[in-house]
Amino acid sequence: MRILFDQGTPAPLRRHLDGHVVDTAAERGWSDLDNGDLIDNAEQAGYDVLITTDQNLRYQQNLAGRRLAVVVLLSTAWPKVRLRVEAIRTALDQIGPGELREVPI
């Protein structure tokens, strides 16, 4: 699975997502894109999932009919996020195109 980390997603998480290709928006030069443009670019580049900490994304974007899925982490703090790595992996295993899942942290 190809995964894109949004700006606030803790980068150390990528080391815990073995078997997935993970890039960041910053690495792609997409740091300044708004959510709609970021989702469009991610889909066009062939990403399957966007992992973000933007809790408002569900209200700002309609994901119906999208190929991209979104996982929302409810914290940006790596010490807290690392305790929920298994829940994040489970969300990735279970999510489908156009879905949004929140992972409580």
Cα separation, 102 vs 105, in Å, equals: 9
Q: What is each CA distance from 77 to 3, 16, 74, in whole angstroms?
A: 19, 15, 9
What is the per-residue pLDDT across 64-84, written as a single tens digit (0 to 9) for each? 889 999 999 999 999 999 999
Domain extent, residue 57, equals 2-103
Confidence check: pLDDT of 61 > 90: no
Count: domains in the chain: 1
Q: Are 101 and 91 in contact (CB under 8 A)?
A: yes
57 Cβ contact list (under 8 Å, min separation 6): 35, 70, 72, 100
- Mean pLDDT over 14-28 rounds to 96
pLDDT confidence of residue 11: 95
Give the rounded distance of the alpha carbon of 98 from its chain centre: 12
Q: Give the mean pLDDT of the chain.
A: 94
pLDDT of 53 higher than 90? yes
How much is the average pLDDT of 16-29? 96
